[in-house]
Structures are given as C-alpha cells and as structure tokens.
Structure 1
Amino acid sequence: MTDLVPAADAPTVELSAVKAWWRAANYLAVGQIYLMDNPLLTEPLRPEHVKPRLLGHWGTSPGLNLVYAHLNRVIRARGTTMIHVTGPGHGGPAALAGAWLDGTYSERYPDVPRDAEGMRTLFRQFSFPGGVPSHIAPVVPGSIHEGGELGYSLSHAFGAAFDNPDLVVACVVGDGEAETGPLATSWHGTKFLSPVTDGAVLPILHLNGWKIANPTVLARLPREELDALLSGYGWDPLYVEGSDPDAVHAAFARALDRSLDAIGRIRTAARSGAATGRPRWPMIVLRTPKGWTGPHEVDGIQVEGTWRSHQVPLAQVRENPEHLRQLEAWLRSYRPEELFDADGGPVAAVLANVPVGETRLGAVPHANGGTLVRTLPLPDVHGYAVKVDEPGATMSEPTRALGEWLRDVMAASAARRDFRVFGPDETESNRLGAVFEASPKAWQGPYLDVDRHLAADGRVMEMLSEHTCQGWLEGYLLTGRHGVFSTYEAFTHIVSSMFNQHAKWLYESAKLGWRPPIASLNYLLTSHVWRQDNNGFSHQDPGFVDHVVNKRPEVVRVYFPPDANTLLVTAEHVLNSRGLVNVVVAGKQPSPDWLGIDAARLHCARGAGIWEFASNDEGTPDVVLACAGDVPTLETLAAVGLLRRHLPDLRVRVVNIVDLMRLLPHDEHPHGMPDKEYDALFGTDVPVVFAYHGYPWLIHRLTYRRANHDHLHVRGYKEVGTTTTPFDMVVLNDMDRYQRVVDVIDRVPSLGGKAAAVRQSMLDMRARHHDWIREHGEDMPEISGWQWAGSALPPK
C-alpha cells in the first residue's frame, strides 16, 4: 500500500505531550546554536548572551525532533525495543536535545543536569572550545552513527537489525544523504534481512528540499516518480507532508502506527510459517520545510523552507539589533515558560510520553554495544594448523586454512547468532568457502536450481558493494556483535572514508567511561598486489595500509602474517580484541609454510623477530635482510639461499615483521619497540635491506627516527604492474631475489669487487627471466619450483 496519510486518519491518542516535547526540543536546538547564557530567557536577550562564533545546523533539526518525539510515544505505548539512527549527521542539536530531555544525557554527564544551569552548560558546550561537536558523535547517548560523513545510516541500521529479532531500527535518511552512492545501494538491505531471525528497519526519508546550497534530487521528483523508485526498491512507502504542525503531527503518528502494525504482521506471518519469501517492508516519507518554525524571512529574504536555513539562519546577532530581536522572538515562539519549570527542568507535560529506563532512545543497550558484546567461542587454532616439518618444504593456501577455522567459529556461535562474515561477492574467491559448511549466504529469494549456499537465515553476507558490506558490519559491531570483512586489497580504498569515520568513533568512544569497547573491526585484505593472476594493474594497490597508519595509534593495528599458521594465530588474536581496527594482509595463493603453529604463536607474540633457521650471523651480521608480507618473505628467503651459495662467508640476519606497528617507537604506538630492542634486532650501523609488501616509503616513515635509518634500503611496490606471471610482478618492482642480492652487494662495504661476478650473474638472471616468460608464458622452473630446503647448497 502506497498512499498519503491524511491528518483525518490520525489515531485517537493524546498528542499534546508529543507536541510539547517537539517545542521543547526545538527550543533546546536553537539555544545550543546561539546561546551561552540566559538559557530560559529570564531577562531580555542581550548580545553578550550570544556566542561569538555561531556554528551548527538548524535546518534539519525540527524534523529530527519531530521523529524523536513520536518514537518516544510508540516505545512507551507499545513496549517496542527500538534504536534511532540519524542520517542527517549534522543534526547534533536535535540528538543532544532529545538525550537531555529524556534524562540520559544528565545520567551520563552529571555536570549537565536537567535544570537551568544544566541547560546553560548544554547550550554553551555545543560547538564551543572544549565542548561537543556539532554533529552526532559518540558523546551523544543512544547514537551508533558518526555524523561526520553522509551515506551510511541505512546500512548501519541493517547491520544493527541482523540477528536482533526483537529490535526495530528507526532510521532517518536525509534527502541530501540519499544522493550518495552508499545510501542509494543500501536500500537493497531488505533482500538480506530475515523477518524470522532479524529485526526490522524502518526508514524515514526526510524530504526538506535542500542541501547546503542546492535543491535535493528526491525532493524535486514528482510523486509518482519517487513512489516508483521506492516501490521498485521493494519498500511500501507512506507519505506525510505539510507545514501545519498539528496536521503533520497527527499524520505522522498515524503513519508510524501503521508502519509498526505492518512490521508486526510481517513478523507474525514469517515466524509462524504462514508466509515465506521476501516481504515488502513499510517506510515513511516525511516532507516538511527546511528550517521549519524558524525565521521565515531575514533581511527581507526568505529563509524558512530554503537552503538559507541549513546552518545558522540569523548570522549577525551580536552586531545587528534586528537579528537579535528576531532571535529572541524565535526562541519565545516556543513558549519556554510552558515547557520548563522555574528550576529549568522539563515540565510533566513534556515528559509524559518519555519511555522508562533502558527503553529510552538514549539508554537502550543496543546503542551501546560494548555493554552487550560477549567473548566469541574460538576453537583452538592448533587443530587447524598446517604441519611444518621443515621450513618452506610444503605449500598451503593461507586463507583456505583460515576459512576452515572461521567455519567452526561460525558453527560455535550458531546458537548465539553474534558472528558474521562480510564481503563483496568474494568469500569463495578469497578461499574462505569452508564457512558455507556452517552457514550459507543470506538471501531473501527467489531461488534458482543453479544457486549454491543461499538461505534466508544465512550469516555470510555478500553484496557487490564494499560500502554496504562495511556499513552492515559496523552496525553489527556497534550493537554488540563480532565479524570479519574480507575483500580484495586494491578495492579497500572504496571504504577508506568509512574506515576513517569508524576509527574516529572508536577513539572518541574510548574517552567515555560509559561506552565499553565494542568488538574490533577486522579487515582481511587478500587477492593482493603481488598475486593477481586473473587481473592486472587495476587490481594492484596496497596503499590502504598507508591510510590506516595515519589514524590514532590507540585504535589501529596492521598485520602481515607470512604463512598459513601465522595467519591463523593473527586471526585468533584480532577476533579476541576490542575497540580496534585490525588490518590483516594475507595471500590466498599457495605459498611456503615457514613456521609450525607453536613457532608461529611465539613469532606473532613478538611481532617482529629473527628467523634463526635462515640466519647465519652469530650475533654480528654483515647485513640484515628484513621482510614484511608473504611474497616479500619468499623473495627474502630465496635471496638468502643465493647469498649462502655464492657468498658463504657473508653473515646474514633475517628479520621478519608480522606486526607492522612494531617498527614505530614505543612512545608513538602501544606496539612500538623501544630503541634498545629495535637496535638489537636491526643494528645501528649495519645495512638493512628491507622487502615490504606495500609502498616502500611507508617503512621509511615509520622508522625515520631510528639510529640506523641512514642504513635502511627498502624495496616494495612502485606502482608498476600488469597482467603477468607472479615472479614478473616482483621483478617489475625490483623486489625480486636477484635484485635483493644486488642490493646486498652494493651496500656491504666488505664485499667490494670480490662479488662483482655474482652481481653480474644476478642481473643476467633477471634478463633471462625477461626472455623466458615471453617465450613460455610462465615463470622459470627454478622460480616456480623453488624451495628453501637445499637452496643454500653451493653451486655445482
């Protein structure tokens, strides 16, 4: 059913408390933007009562306040378990007003009580030095959604609803936000939402017509076109439109009741078995003027209902007496003397519909996921380990071993339903297909005979949108669950900005004693730069890590496990962690098994260490060969084999780095090494030839303060790529074993001209490789068949 909800159909409920709340919230929103004193207007407004810098966003606030007021009513009347996701993130004044009115803000921050002095603090702190930001942030009780960037509200809402069968997630989608790619794609979440095992998402598309300076696309669509769009997405929209407050309140109340009734019918039918297949879920389209109830005109120019109300409608209040007069008239239009008592607290009529206890939008535990998160039942990784009798003698696909372990993590959490695997159509491609033995992929029909691993209650989430997958996972984590996001390394950049917002959320949340840490956001980056057999240059970019290490060290970790067993140990570690973003880079192609599981656990605990089986330095190396990443490790060990054969007297130390943050000084990162430890590992005046998975300058950036930095030479990806053989990729970027031997010869003074013939032979091998692959289409046998065992034998 798709129709306009008329006011005449409003439910026979008392809406006066809703309207009183709305007026009070609007008053508080305006006060936060403008006032630093005289919060209850107990005296005429003077310029010194107004903040010197006016910052904030008024235009969206009245609509958000209206939604909050009505959600309060249905939660209290129906006992609905509900959280509130706000897409117009700069509606901070509205969210703060709601949390202060329902009492949760004062409970979290006792220095901001619900009285006149608390109101003064609430106003003064908003967008003020030492205060709170203008957008919705972790400081706002009841929020799971960082308002610093638009586009993610609806995917967060679906993530919150997955495996929360009793939850309703009311999600306000701004019409500006609705123009973003991530939001446009996230309407499809209903194709993955089970009415049996999941909660419900109720989108409220708020059309107020304008962005910062332009009209919004959806607000200008003819009704039939907008209706066709939303219905085509699979929704059943109800429309509420108008500018008369009484009529809009009555119509919105009716639309909300009809929507929740429809959700109840869908749940009952699906859970009783009376209905199968994908339901058509309700949504509400709310059209109200931008800047509603604010100044209609300023300086003779229309403001209300235009883009001019987006931020601060009256911009010169301190300097312009007419603006000051208008501001006072605007504030008094809400009749604050009827809304707040003599002490400044909300009167009973304002609070009549406020839910109680943890049912309040500001206090619901689902919006503070750290209070709900439980330790995952993780199987012991020893049972999934690759057997390693001798380093490098066998080959494994690391992510395939990981997939078998994740399968049993999925199985162990089946009854709890608090773990999911997310990825953009790449779970099987990334060799994690074993998870389908524990749970299929979520899919709300229809089904074809050729389909595999699809089910309505599946917990593997695949959609070819990195934005949507990450948004789902973030919503899932923020409401107290666990997960892994697996994706191709090169395309993680698509969600770089989402990572940025989430990392900031974690950092700010950690400062708040009332927000316990949630489970970490875990990335598995595979199909990486060095092994793109079916793809080419477009799929070759390891730079996401460079972006990650820009964030606060308290919340970011980066790992490069070099083989299957170190990947298993790393995965166990990150799934046990809290409050972090963990980036794990690992290959899916067959690669040497270097360490047994016990050695892998010790090595990962160290984060960086000497591989004694590959070293012959006896404590005084002539050169250190360092490596981070699976392919750099392989090429390093192959180079060591060549050096042993051709320069047997050279003392070589091999250092492998799993935890990239170990390279930082201890005072810059919690995992960083103190100088003495770093110097003991790498030396202070010894050449260090480093092979790194990504862009080489990152290693220089991490180590520039170390004593031996002038002796450090790094090889890595130089933005040279194509569709070619695996070994040719490392040759093209000068990270191959032969070039590494040349680098050693060029940097160890004692070798001098004694190694000239060896150097020449290494360059000859690179030339031979060039010709070989162009004739045979594959790598030379001594490359493709190389093993560490026997590689150090003297040449014949």
Structure 2
Amino acid sequence: MNAVTTPLSPEELSLIDRYWRAANYLSVGQIYLMENPLLREPLKPEHIKPRLLGHWGTTPGLNFIYAHLNRVIKARDLDIIYMCGPGHGGPGMVANTYLEGTYSEIYPDISETTSGLQKLFKQFSFPGGIPSHAAPETPGSIHEGGELGYALVHAYGAAFDNPDLVVACVVGDGEAETGPLAASWHSNKFLNPTRDGAVLPILHLNGYKIANPTILGRSSDEDLRDLFSGYGYEPFFVEGHEPAAMHQAMADTFDRVFDRIRGIQRNARENASSDGMPRWPMIILRSPKGWTGPKEVDGKKVEGFWRAHQVPVANCRGDEGHRKILEDWMRSYDPDDLFDGDGRLKAELSALAPQGERRMGANPHANGGLLRKELLVPSIHDYAVEIGERGSKQVQSTEILGHYLRDTLKLNDASQNFRIFGPDETESNRLGSVFEATDRVWMEEIEDYDVHLARDGRVMEVLSEHLCQGWLEGYLLTGRHGLFSCYEAFIHIVDSMFNQHAKWLKVSRELEWRKPISSLNYLLTSHVWRQDHNGFSHQDPGFVDLVANKRADVVRIYLPPDANTLLWVGDHCLRTYDRVNVIVAGKQPESQWLSMDEAIAHCKAGAGIWDWASYEDNTIAPDVVMACAGDVPTMETLAAVMLLHEAIPDLKIRTVNVVDLLALQDPAQHPHGLDHQAFDQIFTTDRPVIFAYHGYPYLIHRLTYRRTNHDNIHVRGFIEEGTTTTPFDMTVLNELDRYHLALEAIDRVPGLAEKVPDVINALKAKLIKHHDYVRRYGEDMPEISDWRWKR
C-alpha cells in the first residue's frame, strides 16, 4: 500500500465504514434471504431461499469502491457513472442504488421499509425477479454483466465527447484475463482530454476467479507497475484487508487520483500548446475475495480464496451449522446500527449519498435515452445516382454512402454526437470522403508524413473489432449515434458482443424508465463475393444468420443491391432507435438498377417485383420466379434472366428483389414481414422460385417455412466453397452464377428440360469454357466482365 495520510476524520471513517457495512449486509441478504430481512428474529430455515444463486466474492470490493466514489462526488460535485466489470456483481449494484434511494424511486414497490427490504431480498435471482448480474433492470448500469471482457471499452465509449463525465470502471482480475479487456487498455490512446471525459480504471485484484488463481492477482506490484506504465497509465496501489486502514488509503488515493484527472483536463483545456497523450491515473486495488465474509466453512478456507466466489455457505436451509455461520456473518454487520425501526437507512448514513442526478444510479448518462438528440442528416436526394440505362453505370455504392456520411459528420460537428468506428478499413471500404470532414483520432505521436490523423478526429480506427464494437456500444448507451463499418467475414469476432447488446435492448425496451437509445448500425462490406483476392479465410456471410436468431422487434437485416437503395437504407438506419441494423453492401464498382424514387419505394416495401426485368403475361402466373437478395446475387439473377429469355423467349419469367431480408418472414414472427397475401402475389402460390441469396441458403428456408409456396423455393447461396480466384469464379464455385441459376430454372419448370436440351448443353459448355479460361488467363471472360443488362 502507498504511504498515506488520514484524510478521513474519526467520525467520517466511522460513517463510511457503516455505509459499506450496510451495502455488504444488503448484498448478503439478497443472495440468501426471502424473509426476516433485518434479523429481528432468529434465522429459521424458511427464511432462506431454497435455491441460493449469486456471487459474493467480488461484491464487498465493489461496495467499498462505490462508498468512496460517493464521497468524492459529494466533496467535488462530480459527474460520475460506475461501470461494474465483474460479471455477477449485481448484489452490490442493487444494494448501493437502493441505499442512495434511486432503486425505490424507479421501483416504488421496493420501498425503503422493512417490507421493501424483504421484497428486495426475495426478488434477487428468484423466479419473476431480477438477474444476478448488473443487468438493464439495474439502475445506473450501462454494462451487461453476463459476459466478461467489455467493461473498460464500454467505459471509454461513454467518455468520448462527454467532457464533464468521469467513468469509474472496475475491472475484475478474472475479467482482466480476457482478450478484449487486454486490448481495451489501449483505449487511452484515443481519449482527448480537451473534449472527452475521463476514465478511471480500477483493477480489482482479489486473487481468484471461479476455482483458480488469477494471473494478475499473482503478479507482483513491480510487474503490475511496469505493465500498466507501459500501457501509458500512472498506477496507484491500495492493498490490505484491515477496514480502517483501507478506508484511509482509498480516500487518500481517490483524492490524489481525482486531482490528477482535474490537472490533466485543465492543462489540456486551458493550455493551447499542450499536445500528446497524457498519462492518466488508474488504481490497483488488492482486497481479499469475499472480504468480511466467513473465514472458513466446514474447516475449509473461504475468505481470501476462490471458495468465496459464489455462495460461501451452501446448505443454510438443511444444515443448522451452516445456518449459524450465515446468521453470525450477517449479524457481524450490526443491522440495528444501520437501519432504523422502520427498516430505513439511518439518516446520518443516508446523508453520505449524493443527491438527485449526482447519484450514480440516477445519473442520466447511465440512461442515455434521456440525453439522446436526433441526428441531423442531409437529404439522400442530394447524393442520388443518375442511373441512365439500367445497369449501364458502374458505381462504388459505399463511396456514395461515404459522401452522405461526410456531410452527416459536418451537420453534427457542433453537437459532437456522431462517430464512425471501424478496424482500420474506412478508406478500404470506400468511405474515405469522410476525411474531408474529419480525421482519425490519434493521441500518440503524429509524424509529419501521417495522413488524416488528428487529436480531434471523429473516425475511430483500431485493428480490433472488439474495441470498435465496445466503444460504439458505450457511445450509444450514453445517448449518441454511430456507425460500425467492417469486413463481413470478421464481424464474427464480435458475435457474443452483439448477442449481449441485443439482449440488453430486448430487456430495456420492456422497462418504461429506460429511454430509447440510437440503434447499433453495422455496415458490412468487403463481403464474401468480393473477397476473391483474399481467399477462403475472408469468405463468410454468416453473421446475418446469428442476427436473425434474435427477437424480431430488435433486429433488421438489409441487402441493398445498388447505391440508391444503400442511401435509403443507411439514412433509415441512422434515424432508428433501440435496434440492431445490419447492412450488407459491396464496395466494388457495380451496376446501378434503380432511380432514387424507385429505390425509396422498393426499400419501403422491403421486397417487390422488378417489372422492367420480368418477362411475363400479367394475366396469368409466370412459369418461374427468379428472386434475389444481395448485390452480386442480383447481378447474377439478372444475367440469368437475360440468358433464359434469349434462349427460351416463350418462358414467362418474374424477377423479384428483396432488400429487407426479414420481409420474407411471417408477419406474426417479424413486424417487417410481408402479409401472406402480398407474399403470395409476389412469389406465387405454386410456381418454382429460384432464389439467389447473398449468404447461407438455409436462412431463406428458415424465414419462409410458413409460406404457402415454401416447398417450391429453391435457394442458391454460399455453400462454403471459396479460394483465391476471380470474382465470377467465386459464384461458380458456389453455384450462384448465372449459368447455374438458369440451369436450375430449366430443371424446376415442369417439362421444360426435355424441350430445351440444346440450351442446357450450351449453359454447361459455358461453365466448362469459364473454368478453362480463368485457369489459363487469371481473369474472367470478357463476356462476364463486360456484361451489361439489356432488354
């Protein structure tokens, strides 16, 4: 422990220790009790929950930090939110927000009375109650504790563009072993003290995870100091187990740390010549796991060991000895010294908590929808592509969207509530025009030959999808807007982060007090069909399958086939809230199909017949429906339609494009689903449908299995075939190319194959010719690369 003064007077020390004891008492009560909350009678078996669920080991340390942050907030009038990294620290977060009064304000049934305490205890990890971790139901939380690794990156996301906010982020030593958390320490290289808030990382080392020591917990102070100094931090150590000494040490350390933070920000904001990355403070807190709990149970070490991790005393209902240990443990906090006769926290202790929105459970940054302002966006008509003859113009669709995003950045420059995130790929993904409005943020040294690096940039690039996702989540959850651009194959890296955020949205949408936040918007480009140069490792369209698993009111999936549809989709997604929007669009030059007015109508419908690309008699059903979703499948479908019409002029072909993928789903399953009558009008009730799809074919079957004509829907998509090859060969390897699509149509139209054997042979011959050509010349045949739609 650092040599410390004694900033707390004897009276202050007594009060803060009693407050901490109250939080610990409430935490233990939540894990164990369903009745007799203040132990006003001897503890009986029926007072104890039949199923004991919860995590004690990390909780007393979390409570200790919370109590001391309250002191700092009151003394300095600071705006602080608490990021609880240890996954199942829920008892502590609920206890502290109850003690400060926030919990009862939000949930009046959990009143500050003895009966309210009984309800508080019973609801925890109980059927019909609340989860054991810091979930959306927990006031003051913007961090889902169900998965470890993301607390620190969320904290930094919350601090960006929040100049008066301090995010106190507790990182558990088990969490510190995860890859995302290890990378998150580098977020300080992107935090600008002039315009951003501060993050105070508090590495809480209690030495153990579920059943093993932790790596950092066993590391020496010297090694930890070297490690975090190398990351660019100034580490402060607080360590011990004797409460009085620890309180004095923590108070002293917080005073010095917050002085450092204030000095860094003052220097940056008042000294125009200041430059470079400051050395922000952090705290390394060593305290025993299960601090203040039972020392031993059944002769086995508990406090200061992994046995304290979850429920230290397991059989309190059935074992009188265990029950006595629990009762002695809870009475050691002296509840009569903490709560009055009505069950309310005593006035002198209640006075320690901040007031109003300064309470960490009531801070509006932890309920970001309260602060959210609508994003200013330009008109998409200003960027409309004049398509000329259909398919004649070749445009990089994401480049057009980049112009729109550039001007969105400009429009929101004053409010500073919009950022673009991506793993070093903004330029690669053809969004480079945003650099006309801003630069990449960079707080490390900048060389004179560097390009688009600046301290005040609003594009955030780092080669970690985890950090991009986490920063964006923290940014959105505190009321701002953003876009995450990524290569399609590697967005899988954040699958579980998407899961957690989608779950958060699902629950928070059901809580009236949680106000809507801006949607999490993904732009997935450099996609599977244009990763021919990078090869098989870069070819995977499966992220949308994961997204489609989530609750229908949370997720949306868009596959715009050209620039004008991409503009509408991008604009629409940036305007939405409480959603996860996934946009898949190519960055390579591609044919343009729809005028802006047509694109708007098509996108609003979600799917529709392209009459201009169909050959049918509207008085009768077509012979075959050629459907498509995705830019490359759209091009190959239109090429197949041309081939079929030229070879079999009497064949009645309907061409259908789907831009909103979940429009295919039954409307009872998804709000965007086409009603059954509309679906049948588009796809017919009995005709073969050849569906060229961007991703894995089974998803289309999943989405349409309730539809009348499902048995006649035949899907071609990515079938896990790929290599380094030509763009067209990628489609051939997966049988999504125009020739396979045309052959499939002929095969599925009853009786047609027998009538046109010469057409079948010609199409197969084209496939052979293609195979030989690309392997001889290394590029696609001119008739493929130069193909244009014509009617």
Measured against the shorter chain, the TM-score band is over 0.9
Q: CA deviation at 1:7?
A: 4.3
> Which AA in structure 2 matches 1:565?
N
Paired residues for 1:232-251 under 5 Å? 232-251=230-249
Q: Distance in 2 between matches of 1:583 and 1:550?
A: 13
Q: Distance in 2 between matches of 1:653 and 1:341?
A: 77
Paired residues for 1:338-417 under 5 Å? 338-417=337-416
Q: Distance in 1 between matches of 2:605 and 2:668?
A: 18
> Which AA in structure 2 matches 1:5?
N
**TM-score normalised by the chain length of structure 2:** 0.99
Conserved 8 A contact 2:662-2:670: yes
1:209 matched residue in structure 2: 207
Choose the corresponding residue for 2:130, options 132, 152, 159. 132
1:91 matched residue in structure 2: 89
2:465 matched residue in structure 1: 466
2:513 matched residue in structure 1: 514
1:25 matched residue in structure 2: 23
1:626 matched residue in structure 2: 627
Choose the corresponding residue for 2:162, options 152, 164, 168. 164
Paired residues for 1:217-296 under 5 Å? 217-273=215-271, 274-296=273-295
Q: Distance in 1 between matches of 2:475 and 2:371?
A: 12
* Structure 2 unpaired stretches of 5+: none
What SS does structure 2 have at the residue aligned with 1:707?
Answer: coil
Alignment of 1:645 with 2:643, yes or no, is no
2:143 matched residue in structure 1: 145
2:577 matched residue in structure 1: 578
1:75-98 superposed Cα distances (whole Å, 9 cap, x missing partner): 111010111101002000000001
Alignment of 1:5 with 2:2, yes or no, is yes
> Which AA in structure 2 matches 1:231?
S
Conserved 8 A contact 2:630-2:694: yes
Conserved 8 A contact 2:466-2:493: yes
Q: CA deviation at 1:411?
A: 0.6
1:595 matched residue in structure 2: 594
Q: CA deviation at 1:111?
A: 0.7
**TM-score normalised by the chain length of structure 1:** 0.98
Q: CA deviation at 1:21?
A: 1.3
1:262-315 superposed Cα distances (whole Å, 9 cap, x missing partner): 000000111112522110000010000000000000001110000000000000
Q: Distance in 2 between matches of 1:64 and 1:288?
A: 10
Q: CA deviation at 1:348?
A: 1.3
What SS does structure 1 have at the residue aligned with 2:505?
Answer: helix
Alignment of 1:310 with 2:309, yes or no, is yes
Q: CA deviation at 1:463?
A: 0.4
Q: Distance in 2 between matches of 1:596 and 1:632?
A: 19
Q: Distance in 1 between matches of 2:8 and 2:232?
A: 27
1:720 matched residue in structure 2: 721
1:784 matched residue in structure 2: 785
Conserved 8 A contact 1:7-1:247: no
Conserved 8 A contact 2:13-2:244: no
What SS does structure 2 have at the residue aligned with 1:8?
Answer: coil
Q: CA deviation at 1:215?
A: 0.3
Q: CA deviation at 1:449?
A: 2.3
Q: Distance in 2 between matches of 1:610 and 1:73?
A: 65
Q: Distance in 1 between matches of 2:110 and 2:446?
A: 55
> Which AA in structure 2 matches 1:425?
D
Greater shift in the superposed pair: 141-150 or 274-283? 274-283
1:754 matched residue in structure 2: 755
Choose the corresponding residue for 1:176, options 157, 174, 177. 174
Q: CA deviation at 1:226?
A: 1.1
Q: Distance in 2 between matches of 1:657 and 1:256?
A: 57
1:50-92 superposed Cα distances (whole Å, 9 cap, x missing partner): 0000000000000000011111111111010111101002000
Q: CA deviation at 1:257?
A: 1.1
> Which AA in structure 2 matches 1:29?
S
What SS does structure 1 have at the residue aligned with 2:253?
Answer: helix
Choose the corresponding residue for 2:185, options 184, 187, 193. 187
Choose the corresponding residue for 1:116, options 114, 118, 124. 114
Conserved 8 A contact 1:17-1:351: no
Q: CA deviation at 1:750?
A: 4.2
Paired residues for 1:379-458 under 5 Å? 379-458=378-457
Q: Distance in 1 between matches of 2:268 and 2:494?
A: 34
What SS does structure 2 have at the residue aligned with 1:483?
Answer: strand
Q: Distance in 2 between matches of 1:524 and 1:17?
A: 52
Conserved 8 A contact 2:164-2:197: yes
What SS does structure 2 have at the residue aligned with 1:15?
Answer: helix
1:192-214 superposed Cα distances (whole Å, 9 cap, x missing partner): 00000100000000000000000
Q: Distance in 1 between matches of 2:321 and 2:287?
A: 27
1:710 matched residue in structure 2: 711
> Which AA in structure 1 matches 2:748?
R
Conserved 8 A contact 1:7-1:248: no
Alignment of 1:741 with 2:742, yes or no, is yes
What SS does structure 1 have at the residue aligned with 2:19?
Answer: helix
Conserved 8 A contact 2:369-2:514: yes
Conserved 8 A contact 1:17-1:352: no
What SS does structure 2 have at the residue aligned with 1:129?
Answer: coil
Q: Distance in 1 between matches of 2:524 and 2:484?
A: 8
> Which AA in structure 1 matches 2:336?
E
Q: Distance in 1 between matches of 2:54 and 2:421?
A: 36
> Which AA in structure 2 matches 1:624?
V
Identical columns (%)? 62
Q: CA deviation at 1:533?
A: 4.0
2:318 matched residue in structure 1: 319
Conserved 8 A contact 1:6-1:240: no
Q: Distance in 2 between matches of 1:724 and 1:385?
A: 33
What SS does structure 1 have at the residue aligned with 2:691?
Answer: strand
Q: CA deviation at 1:352?
A: 2.0
1:132-170 superposed Cα distances (whole Å, 9 cap, x missing partner): 000110000110000000000000000000000111000
Q: CA deviation at 1:390?
A: 2.2
2:611 matched residue in structure 1: 612
> Which AA in structure 2 matches 1:494?
I
Aligned residues: 787
> Which AA in structure 1 matches 2:98?
W
Conserved 8 A contact 1:20-1:349: no
Q: CA deviation at 1:368?
A: 0.3
1:686-715 superposed Cα distances (whole Å, 9 cap, x missing partner): 000000000001111111111111111000
1:438-479 superposed Cα distances (whole Å, 9 cap, x missing partner): 110000030112210011111100000000110000000000
1:768 matched residue in structure 2: 769
Q: Distance in 1 between matches of 2:624 and 2:787?
A: 23
1:623-643 superposed Cα distances (whole Å, 9 cap, x missing partner): 001100000000000001111
Q: Distance in 2 between matches of 1:5 and 1:110?
A: 43
Alignment of 1:678 with 2:675, yes or no, is no
1:367-412 superposed Cα distances (whole Å, 9 cap, x missing partner): 0011111111100011011111222111100110011100000110
What SS does structure 2 have at the residue aligned with 1:319?
Answer: coil
1:547-603 superposed Cα distances (whole Å, 9 cap, x missing partner): 111111110100000001100000000000000000000000011100011110110
Conserved 8 A contact 2:624-2:690: yes
Q: Distance in 2 between matches of 1:390 and 1:296?
A: 80
What SS does structure 1 have at the residue aligned with 2:715?
Answer: strand
> Which AA in structure 2 matches 1:511?
E
Conserved 8 A contact 1:477-1:483: yes
